């Protein structure tokens, strides 16, 4: 299907597809089995300039937007969403700085992120604060011109491997939602350490660790935005980043569909390829239709969000919700098409099924996305003067 890409956008997509095909696909099984962080592939992506797709040219990027970033993420995810998540999570860590950072912070950190010299990460989730971001316990207490951070962040993608961290902490609990603040932390800051690397069901090429702050001193010039803006920064960051999760889902679904169709054309049962059986055709037809629908939503949603509309949250949530569910469905059906072979590690669909589950969980569970969409619908229809009854 033609999505009317510009020449530059087509080049981005082709480059990411080439890297996925030639560099990621041959290594994905090894990275998954060994739970290895893909440093070699990070360097390849850095040399390709893909890390700077969404960062303005003034800070060393290519000046694109959410849509261009989604094009690259999708193609990388066709091969391995573990590697693609490592890539995308650096953007998640960079967005708070890009959206609300001072000019000094932008010039200090964004060029290295754009060039892939330093990875970024996003530190919000805690053991008692997942879907409920307001439940965070990490504190930042003012001490002269500095702040002292204490607390622990959990399940942080790129944790320990990234060098730049956008971290949310409570600066004044009495102010409720206006009492949290984002800070830029650097790997190596005194008092900033890391917990163990988590062992996961899937996404094993991506590192996930705790961030631990014990009397970690940070100067006030590393505040993102201003004190008290933390929850606004977090929500606006998610509005920008959630289509990227959708792109991961589209890529994984396409990769699983490709393998299922190829297998169905070659697998002979009862004297003919199984793709000739209506039961298999219907499975593949549903998988293909759902994948294409998810892609259309992500592309249209990303383009819409790049136009900087006043209300972004509903569309951003849709872009995360539907493709995540589609990826889980298509990967599961791909395993079914391959039958016993699909259950074995010799075929990548087993890994894809394990990997897909996280798309319904991280960066806001799909239940939370439905809450957001429902709340926004309530607001929209509350503003309408027309009655439909």
| Domain CATH number, residue 96 | 1.10.540.10
Q: What's residue 300's pLDDT?
A: 98
pLDDT, mean over the chain: 97
- H or E element at residue 210: strand 208-219
Domain boundary among 119, 147, 179: 119
8 A C-beta contact, residue 131 and residue 234: no
CATH of the domain at 300: 1.20.140.10
**Residue 238 dihedral angles phi and psi, to the nearest 5°:** -60, -35
Q: Is residue 99 part of a domain?
A: yes
Q: Is residue 279 part of a domain?
A: yes
Catalytic (active site) residue 210: no
- CA 152 – CA 126 distance, rounded (Å): 7
CATH of the domain at 183: 2.40.110.10
8 A C-beta contact, residue 324 and residue 358: no
- Judge if 111 and 127 occupy the same domain: no
Q: What's residue 157's pLDDT?
A: 98
* Total count of residues recorded for the chain: 389
Q: For the whole model, what pTM was predicted?
A: 0.97
- Total domains present in the chain: 3
- Judge if 224 and 267 occupy the same domain: no
- Judge if 240 and 367 occupy the same domain: yes
Say if residue 355's pLDDT is above 80: yes
**Residue 62 dihedral angles phi and psi, to the nearest 5°:** -100, -5
- H or E element at residue 250: helix 230-266
- Judge if 66 and 170 occupy the same domain: no
* Mean pLDDT of all residues in 154-169: 98
Which one, of 20, 53, 55, 62, lies nearest residue 38 by Cα? Answer: 20
- Judge if 358 and 246 occupy the same domain: yes
Q: Percentage helix, strand, coil, to 5, in the chain?
A: 60, 15, 25
> Sign of the C-alpha dihedral, residues 234, 309, 14, 29?
positive
- Judge if 246 and 328 occupy the same domain: yes
Q: Which domain holds residue 156?
A: 121-228
Q: Is residue 387 part of a domain?
A: no
**Residue 156 dihedral angles phi and psi, to the nearest 5°:** -90, 115
Q: Is residue 256 part of a domain?
A: yes
Q: Is residue 281 part of a domain?
A: yes
Say if residue 348's pLDDT is above 90: yes
Domain boundary among 98, 119, 140: 119
Domain boundary among 175, 194, 228: 228
Helix, strand or coil, per DSSP, at residue 226: coil
pLDDT digits (tens, 9 = 90+) for 190-218: 999 999 999 999 999 999 999 999 999 99
- Judge if 112 and 138 occupy the same domain: no
Give the pLDDT band (50/70/90) at residue 317: very high
Say if residue 2's pLDDT is above 80: no
8 A C-beta contact, residue 10 and residue 306: no
Q: Is residue 176 part of a domain?
A: yes
- Judge if 109 and 213 occupy the same domain: no
- CA 356 – CA 359 distance, rounded (Å): 6
Say if residue 385's pLDDT is above 80: no
Give the pLDDT band (50/70/90) at residue 360: very high
Angle at 327 between CA 341 and CA 274, to 5 degrees: 40
- Judge if 256 and 358 occupy the same domain: yes
8 A C-beta contact, residue 147 and residue 157: no
- Judge if 334 and 245 occupy the same domain: yes
Instruction: Choose, from 68, 163, 210, 363, the residue flagged as catalytic.
Output: 363
Q: What's residue 387's pLDDT?
A: 78
8 A C-beta contact, residue 95 and residue 240: yes
8 A C-beta contact, residue 331 and residue 256: yes
Q: Is residue 385 part of a domain?
A: no
- Judge if 126 and 217 occupy the same domain: yes
pLDDT digits (tens, 9 = 90+) for 276-296: 999 999 999 999 999 999 999
**Residue 201 dihedral angles phi and psi, to the nearest 5°:** -60, -45
Q: Is residue 326 part of a domain?
A: yes
Q: How many helices (H) and strands (E) does the chain have?
A: 11, 10
8 A C-beta contact, residue 177 and residue 171: no
- H or E element at residue 249: helix 230-266
- Judge if 258 and 285 occupy the same domain: yes
Q: What's residue 389's pLDDT?
A: 79
Say if residue 175's pLDDT is above 80: yes
Helix, strand or coil, per DSSP, at residue 123: strand
DSSP H helices in 37-130: 39-47, 66-79, 81-100, 103-114
Q: What's residue 1's pLDDT?
A: 72
Q: Where does residue 209 fall: left (phi above 0), alpha (psi -120 to 50 degrees), or beta otherwise?
A: beta
Long-range contacts of 175-178, Cβ-Cβ distance < 8 Å, separation of 24 or more:
175/228, 176/134, 177/134, 177/231, 178/228, 178/231
% pLDDT > 70, the chain: 100
């Amino acid at each position: 299907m033609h999505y009317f890409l510009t020449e530059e956008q087509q080049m981005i997509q082709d480059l990411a597809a080439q890297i996925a095909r030639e560099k990621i696909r041959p290594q994905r099984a090894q990275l998954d089995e060994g739970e290895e962080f893909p440093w070699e592939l990070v360097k390849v992506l850095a040399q390709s300039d893909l890390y700077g797709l969404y960062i303005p040219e003034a800070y060393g990027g290519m000046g694109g937007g959410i849509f261009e970033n989604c094009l690259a993420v999708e193609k990388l995810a066709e091969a391995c969403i573990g590697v693609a998540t490592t890539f995308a999570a650096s953007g998640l860590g960079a967005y708070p700085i890009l959206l609300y950072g001072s000019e000094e912070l932008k010039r200090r950190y964004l060029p290295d992120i754009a060039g892939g010299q330093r990875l970024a990460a996003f530190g919000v989730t805690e053991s008692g604060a997942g879907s409920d971001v307001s439940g965070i316990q990490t504190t930042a207490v003012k001490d002269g011109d500095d702040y002292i951070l204490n607390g622990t962040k959990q399940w942080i993608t790129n944790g320990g491997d990234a060098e730049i961290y956008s971290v949310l902490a409570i600066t004044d609990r009495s102010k409720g939602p206006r009492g949290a603040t984002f800070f830029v932390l650097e790997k190596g800051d005194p008092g900033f350490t890391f917990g163990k690397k988590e062992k996961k069901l899937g996404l094993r090429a991506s590192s996930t660790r705790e961030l631990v702050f014990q009397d970690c001193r940070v100067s006030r010039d590393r505040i993102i935005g201003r004190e008290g803006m933390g929850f606004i920064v977090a929500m606006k960051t998610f509005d920008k980043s959630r289509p990227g999760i959708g792109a991961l889902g589209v890529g994984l679904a396409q990769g699983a569909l490709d393998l299922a169709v190829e297998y169905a054309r070659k697998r002979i049962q009862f004297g003919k390829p199984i793709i000739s059986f209506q039961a298999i055709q219907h499975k593949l037809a549903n998988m293909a239709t759902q994948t294409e629908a998810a892609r259309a939503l992500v592309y249209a949603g990303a383009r819409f969000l790049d136009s900087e509309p006043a209300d972004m949250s509903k569309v951003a949530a849709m872009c995360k919700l539907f493709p995540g569910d589609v990826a889980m469905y298509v990967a599961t059906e791909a395993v079914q098409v391959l039958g016993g072979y699909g259950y074995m590690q010799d075929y990548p669909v087993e890994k894809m099924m394990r990997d897909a589950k996280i798309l319904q969980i991280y960066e806001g569970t799909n239940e939370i996305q439905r809450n957001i969409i429902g709340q926004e619908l309530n607001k929209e229809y509350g503003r309408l003067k027309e009655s439909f009854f």
